[in-house]
Amino acid sequence: MTGLDHIAMLEGVTALQREALVKVGTARSLASGDVLIRQGEPAAAMHFVLAGKLGIALGEPTADPIAVVGPGETVGELGVITGEPASAFVVAQEPTELLSLGEDEFWELVQTSHPFAVNLIVKLAERLRKNNATVSTNIEKRRLYERAAMFDGLTGIHNRRWLDETLHRLVVRHERDEEPLCVALIDIDHFKKFNDTHGHEVGDLVLTTVAATLVKNLRPTDLVARFGGEEFVILFPQTVPADALLAGERVREIVSQMVVKKADGAELPRVTISMGIAPLRHGEKPAEMLKAADVAMYEAKHEGRNRVRVAQR
């Protein structure tokens, strides 16, 4: 069987040993769609691909293959070595010709052919490195997805999902340790009018500038998130209302003085914010804190905007 000449695993194996393989091995022909190895079932044979193409699929044999094995390659050797059930389906992607080597014949070849044993070790090492690289890549992708899920795509700061999870943890911790906690809800004054007048692109510029200004001018322990639309939230851990008010007034003043310019250099009208602050009360839920801050914020707006109010509770 001349098809063995291009099998990488048999490089260095003598012609006599190859002839012996043809005699002890089993020639197999698969039609497109035939399943060679079933996931979860024992795979006690090594298969040399002489012609055609095999796909490696997970979950279902009809699933899109995660890898393809072509002429000159092998499948099944790991199952013979470990004796464990197959971790994937192996399915013919087109008419495929194979030479299959049973468990006894496989180990006979390992013992009698040093080149084959070396090739086997090298091949398994390559697969291990590839699997490790795949795992590392998947971990990194998961981290990126997790980060994307917790950050606002426009402003780059934390988003509502992160806020909900973090505020809940802070409330539980501060209740347990009997420490003060304050939350501030911020709204950009007249933002809808500003957006309608200057366009959404400029509105986005204002949102990103305000977000960056808040982050830059708060304490390292203070946490900022975009609540939605033109609203932001600041979390003040271990902070009493008086100190939260001082921090809020400071950033409000800085925002009111910042200069925002369009891409053409034109200076935009000054931006102001209104802020409501609410301290944590005993037994209170995060949603109740945010509601109290929201009421205080609207009091600030009704009193003329560009100011900070602490909830009277």
| Catalytic site residue from 230, 249, 284, 288 | 230
Helix (H) or strand (E) holding 48: strand 45-51
Strand locations in 81-230, DSSP E? 89-92, 96-102, 181-188, 223-228
Cα torsion angle, 15, 19, 20, 22, sign: positive
Q: Is 14 helix (H, G, I), strand (E, B) or coil?
A: coil
Q: Which residues contact 168 (CB under 8 A, 6 or more apart)?
A: 286
Find where tokens 């891409």 sit.
263
Q: Which two tokens stand for residue 52?
A: 């055609």
Is residue 230 flagged as an active site residue? Answer: yes
Report whether 217 contacts 250 (CB < 8 A).
yes
* Token couple for 135: 């795992």
Length of the chain: 313
Q: Does the CA dihedral 178-237-244-272 come out positive or negative?
A: negative
Distance CA(134)–CA(293), nearest Å, equals: 47
Catalytic residues: 230
